[in-house]
Structure 1
Amino acid sequence: MEKRSSLSICLRLLKLVKPLAGFMVLAVGMGIAGHLCASFLTVLGVFAVLSVLQVTTALSLKIIFILLAVFAVCRGFLRYGEQACNHFIAFKLLALIRDKVFRALRRLCPAKLEGKEKGNLISVITSDIELLEVFYAHTISPVLIAVCTSVFMCLFIGRYHWALGGLAAASYFILGCVLPGITSRMSGGHGADFRKQTGELGSYVLDSLRGLEENIQYQMGEERLKEMNERADKLSEEEKHMKKLAGNNQAVIHTAVLVLSLAMLLSSSFLFQKQLIGFEGILISTVALMSSFGPVIALANLSSTLQSTMAAGNRVLDILDEMPLTEDITDQPEQVFSGARLQHVEFGYGDEKILSDISLSISKNQIIGITGKSGSGKSTLLKLLMRFWERDQGSITISGTDINCINTLNLRNMESFVTQETYLFHDSIENNIRIAKPDASREEIEKACRKASVHDFIISLPNGYQTNAGELGDALSGGERQRIGLARAFLHEAPFILLDEPTSNLDSLNEGAVLKALCQERSGKTMVLVSHRPSTMKIADYVCPIEHGRVS
């Protein structure tokens, strides 16, 4: 995780407000007016008391009561309007940020996401982005409101004496800046640690749920539960420490309010004794200060939660700023598939070399078989052809053009990739297949399923094609999921089909049916078939063995 200062995080998050700047100005304006109305309700009350005591004031009793009624009503409407604008901005921006995050994840996948903890990603997408609502709805406008109302009240109190105006300014500065700064420094990195531990706990729980059967089989449930409880307890301790700091912060703030109010009372009394201000100046200055602490207290209270908010913002920015290993390519001439070629290709994951000096020619309308031991680089080769990863050296061309010069959308339309593990969404079987061609008719889907030898199985289900595949495809066997993956490839109708162990989960009968379908569909198609089964390789025109990352 990149370490950013709170200021840099705030500035980055503030840039997102630009499209909604008008609503922000409106929220701040209503907030300033609302807080001033609230403060002057108390001040006007003092003016009314002075009038009753027959102390000469600038306002008559009648005017005071009219203003009290107007300010009271306006305060309610202005407060509602301010909160409505702030939350409108917040939720609009949260939707915008989620859209940006999903777009970033799309750019990063699959290469940059293979090593990411899924629970941590879910935590960023959900709770971290949700926490930014605090920043947009309860931080930006409160800061501006606190500054503006404080300046106005300093000028108002300073009318009685400049020293009282200066004391008011110092009071606002201590409550709104000094104390929050101290609290933030005391919090240290607890906010970032809390967000990190939350994400890690989410990953661990998700991992435990997915491996529930293995945990039961090997009696690891108690061990996993113990670890889960230890992580939860550690997270609770972190939260307890943060709550304690927040409580101490509240105590210090309220003590400071009393001390600063007392300081204003003593200072104004001293000036009264020196006959520099009248009795009115004592009451109005003290009451005006005490009634106007609301905006700066709200600002001070934010410091205890702002650490977590900034940590959440930092985690979101990490995703938005991360550079993909393969950038999407656009604005290149469209290509029509006419064959592929790899020349002296080398690739490795970090320091681990996977492929060394791979050269392979794939002619149009051929079925090329690739065999080799597990870990020899067979699947990696297909991912390079899909441009999921960038090769380290050598060249990969399709239709005589380097794949780095082919539009990403064009490349995806030319290729179909069937992986070893077919992912199924929590949706109907029909919709799971339809993702290969969103505008496909029911007849086209059924035709693709017949080719993949899965149509008869689907129609035997109680709800047929509308049967829900279950979360992660748990309602289906491995072989059924694999055949649905093949149906997707057939529906996609790409001229270049990459098959990674397409029959590994099938029995010999279904394997024969799928291989027969592949042979029947080979007209106008080029296939690269990765498998460790000799029976699968029988349909290949040419078999290329790979050992230790090299073509043997």
Structure 2
Amino acid sequence: MQQKKKNGFQIMLELLGMIRPLMGFMLLAILMGCIGNLVATFITILGGYGLLSVAGLYNKLTITTIFTVIIIFAVIRGILRYAEQACNHYIAFKLLASIRHKVFASLRRLAPAKLDGNDKGNLISIITSDIELLEVFYAHTISPIAIAIITSVFMCVFIGIIHPVLGVVALVFYLLIGFIVPVLNSRRGREKGQEYRDSFGELNTSVLDNLYGLEEIIQYGQQEKRQSCLAKKTESLEKIAKELKKEESIQKISTDWIILFAGIAMLGVSGYLAGQGEIEGGMSLIATVAMISSFGPTAALSALSNNLNHTLACGNRVLSLLNEEPIVLDNVTGEEDCSGDIICDGTTFGYENKVVLNNFNVTFKENHIHGILGKSGCGKSTLLKLLMRFYETNKGTISYGKNVVNTIKTSSLRKNVAYVTQETYLFHDTIENNIKIAKEDATREEVIEAAKKASIHDFILSLPSGYDTIVSELGESLSGGERQRIGIARAFLHKSSIIFLDEPTSNIDSLNEGIILKSLEEEKEDKTIILVSHRKSTMGIVDHMVNM
């Protein structure tokens, strides 16, 4: 997946754009967060006034009144904190559900070409962990930034009322902790954050690859090699994680030292002003206490920069997927007629810099069985994908009768063509429902008829629950040949006028292959069938054969 280079600000703006429908809840969370943090700060400030009252340096409020207000503020703080977090998490989970919906919609738009590569582990990483990490952004980033800004401005004014110079001192340290430290830390860790997410996706792909090929790995003694490769990817990921943790530790130590120095600076400046008679002596204590106790929101903002590198990297990957343009756009307003001869006229196509088909010309006559014979890698499967318009030709045309394939409505093309791929995917459902994917409203009798033609009926009946047998995840409870025959049964059930079969009998014994080929021969009336294979035995039923 090609990821556009975007800076953190651009990514944040795009992520913020998704929050518009829930802006009311976000403003409510910010309001409650501001009040809650200010209440927490003033609990400490009131404590300072209490000390001054005990020392006889403050008499505007009694000690009883001060402690009563502190207790009230403490209760209010707890309620507001809970309400703020509830709003933030409501927003986050609503948006995550919306983003997942958009991601799956994007994958439907990008498919099937998008899913034709070897990057499925990375896609799984985006759909699961990357989207999940966006919860940090929506629940723990947006409102804290707003809260830190608003509360810092308020406290600058409060401290500035004691003396303008003290307000400036407070502003300098708020900017230092809440802006300069996070920006510097973010710049240092941005590339590492993106590298971590990309490496995590690659590790997912490698794990998925090893799980799918576990039998082959064991059979050919590749365990050590595969384990070594996986260990290197894991070590690389851990190395990046340690570097990010190191940056996080530096940020924490820097923030703590700055807060300590801020307290000392405020005490020194306010003490000097008190010595000059510009403020009362007790106000020096209040200014210092107000300064130190109000760093909570800005310190949290400083700490955000560590997770923000991860979060923005995740956001970039998710947004890149959402903004990715499909290789082929669905035609929603085109022609609906797919009848007639299928004609390839000067068809040329290649993946990136590799040409697979070059000036390919052939006519597949309507209502005939056509065979395409050739060795692996010659472009047989690619031709079927071009006929299905999973990809578009680089040069030349493909036509169904009088209509060029690009002008045919995509839904009509899918409706009129049954396509059996080399690998049949089975869902974790009953065998009947797996076959009925080709026709959801099919009766049991229609399913049985299709299964018989695919030479899978007797096998299904031998299972404990027959057609109601649940297929295990990824269809692992069935052999490759059994899965392949279920795929062929789907094609028979689809009752389309055109059938494409890509190596349909490669995993099937000669007896069952003969039964299936006989069924195809019986089905050829009013159907155009294109049969791709590298085996000459499969070509026995064809009316016309193309060598590639």
Same fold (TM over 0.5): yes
CA deviation string 1:304-360 (max 9, x = no partner): 221111111122222222222101121235335344322221112222222122233
2:331 counterpart SS class: coil
User: CA contact under 8 A between 2:338 and 2:403: conserved in structure 1?
Assistant: no
Q: Please list every run of 5 or more consecutive structure 2 residues that lacks an aligned counterpart in the other structure.
A: none
Deviates more, 1:469-478 or 1:308-317: 469-478
> Of the candidates 89, 95, 102, which is equivalent to residue 100 of structure 1?
102
Counterpart mapping for 1:388-427 below 5 A:
388-427=390-429
Q: Structure 1 residue 347 and structure 2 residue 349: aligned?
A: yes
Cα shift readout 1:29-58 (whole Å, capped 9, x = no counterpart): 111111111111111222233333333455
1:491-530 superposed matches below 5 A: 491-530=493-532
Give the C-alpha shift of residue 178 in structure 1: 1.1
Which deviates further from its counterpart, 157-166 or 332-341?
332-341
**SS across alignment from 2:285:** helix
Give 1:240 deviation, angstroms: 1.7
The amino acid that maps onto 1:204 is S
Q: Pick from 177, 181, 184: which aligns with 1:182? A: 184
Secondary structure of the residue aligned to 2:363 is: strand
CA separation in 2, counterparts of 1:335 and 1:44? 81
Larger deviation, residues 306-315 vs 383-392: 306-315
> Counterpart of 2:100 in 1: which secondary structure?
helix
Give yes or no for contact 1:497–1:528 (8 Å, CA) kept in 2: yes
Shift of 1:377: 1.7
Aligned partner of 2:125 among 123, 128, 138: 123
The code of the aligned residue for 2:449 comes to K
Larger displacement relative to structure 2 (8-17 or 521-530): 521-530
Distance 1:477 1:417 in 2: 20
Aligned with 2:143 (options 130, 136, 141): 141
Separation in 2, partners of 1:331, 1:294:
58
Ranges in structure 1 where 5+ consecutive residues have no aligned partner: 547-552
1:146 Cα offset (Å): 0.3
1:202 to 201, 204, 211: 204
Q: Tell me, in whole angstroms, the C-alpha distance in 1 between the residues paired with 2:457 and 2:227.
A: 42
Q: For 1:170 and 1:515, locate their aligned partners in 2 and report how far apart those are by CA, in whole Å.
A: 82
Which SS does the other structure have where 1:396 is aligned? strand
| Contact in 1 for aligned 2:424/2:484 (Cα 8 Å) | yes
Q: Report the identity percentage.
A: 51
CA deviations 1:443-489 (Å, max 9, x no partner) are 33222212211111111112222323333322212221111001111
For 1:59 and 1:445, the matched residues in 2 are separated by 85
Instruction: Tell me what 1:533 maps to.
Output: 535
Whether the 8 Å CA contact 1:32–1:148 is kept in 2: the answer is yes
> 1-side partners of 2:73 and 2:340: how far apart?
77
Q: Which amino acid aligns with 2:52?
A: L
- State the one-letter code of the partner of 1:500: D
Confirm whether residue 268 of structure 1 aligns to residue 231 of structure 2: no
Contact 2:336 2:413 in 1 (8 A): no
User: What's the counterpart of residue 249 of structure 1?
Assistant: 251
Q: Secondary structure at the match of 2:438?
A: coil
Q: CA deviation at 1:157?
A: 0.9
**In structure 1, distance between residues paired with 2:335 and 2:228:** 58
Moved more, 126-135 or 337-346: 337-346
CA distance in 1 between partners of 2:480 and 2:415 (Å): 26
> 1:102, CA displacement in angstroms?
1.8
Equivalent residue in structure 1 for 2:449, among 447, 457, 477: 447
Bigger CA drift: 398-407 or 295-304?
398-407
Deviates more, 1:492-501 or 1:169-178: 492-501
> What is the identity, as a one-letter code, of the residue corresponding to 2:325?
M
What is the DSSP-based 3-state SS (H/G/I as helix, E as strand, rest coil) of the residue aligned with 1:275? coil
Structure 1 counterpart of 2:184, which letter? I
Q: Which of 371, 384, 387 is matched with 1:385 structurally? A: 387
The amino acid across from 1:325 in the alignment is: I
Partner of 1:550: none
Q: Once the two structures are superposed, what CA deviation does each residue of 1:361-386 show, in whole Å capped at 9, x if it has no partner?
A: 33332222222232222211111110
Give the deviation of 1:136 after TM superposition: 1.0
Whole-angstrom distance in 2 between the partners of 1:355 and 1:228: 36
**CA RMSD across the alignment:** 1.9
* 1:345–1:396 Cα contact (<8 Å) kept: yes
**Match 2:162 to one of 160, 163, 184:** 160
Q: How many residues align?
A: 546
> Where has structure 1 moved over 4 Å in runs of 4 or more?
60-63
In 2, the alpha carbon distance for the partners of 1:453 and 1:116 equals 32
How far the C-alpha of 1:434 sits from its partner, in A, is: 2.3
In structure 1, distance between residues paired with 2:187 and 2:83? 34
Match of 2:193 in 1: 191
Contact 2:338–2:413 (8 Å) recurs in 1 = no
Q: Deviations over 1:231-276 (max 9, x none)?
A: 2222222212221221221111111111101111111111111111
Secondary structure, counterpart of 1:189 in structure 2: helix
Q: Distance in 1 between matches of 2:278 and 2:469?
A: 86
Counterpart position of 1:303: 305
1:61 positional shift: 4.3
Inter-partner Cα distance in structure 2 for 1:208 and 1:519: 40
CA distance in 2, matches of 1:123, 1:75: 38
SS at match of 1:131: helix
1:422 match: secondary structure: coil
Contact 1:340 1:400 in 2 (8 A): no
Asked if the contact 2:30–2:146 (Cα under 8 Å) also holds between the matched residues in 1, the reply is yes
Please report how far the alpha carbon of residue 156 of structure 1 lies from its aligned counterpart in structure 2 after TM superposition: 0.9
CA contact (8 A) 1:47 1:57 kept: no
Distance 1:341 1:217 in 2: 44
Measured against aligned partners, the alpha-carbon deviations of 1:500-528 in whole angstroms (never above 9, x if no partner) come to: 12122222211121112112222332211
The letter of the residue matching 2:178 is G
SS in 2 for 1:475: coil
- What is the CA deviation profile of residues 1-56 of structure 1, one whole-angstrom value per residue up to 9, with x for unaligned ones? 43211111111111111121111111111111111111111112222333333334
Q: Which amino acid aligns with 1:373?
A: K
Q: Which amino acid aligns with 2:532?
A: V
Q: Name the SS for the 1:528 alignment partner.
A: strand
Residues of 2 paired with 1:93 and 1:291: CA distance?
33
Partners of 1:57 and 1:416 in 2: CA distance: 89
TM-superposed CA distance for 1:399, in Å, is: 4.1
Partner SS for 1:369: strand
Indicate the residue corresponding to 1:369 in structure 2.
Answer: 371
DSSP 3-state at the match of 1:435: helix
Offset at residue 154 of structure 1 (A): 0.8
Whole-angstrom distance in 2 between the partners of 1:86 and 1:11: 18
> Which deviates the most, 225-234 or 159-168?
225-234
Task: In structure 2, give the amino acid aligned to 1:100.
Answer: K
**Residue 431 of structure 1, aligned match among 430, 433, 439:** 433
- Aligned 8 A contact 2:330 2:409 in 1: yes
Q: 1:81 aligns with which of 83, 87, 92?
A: 83
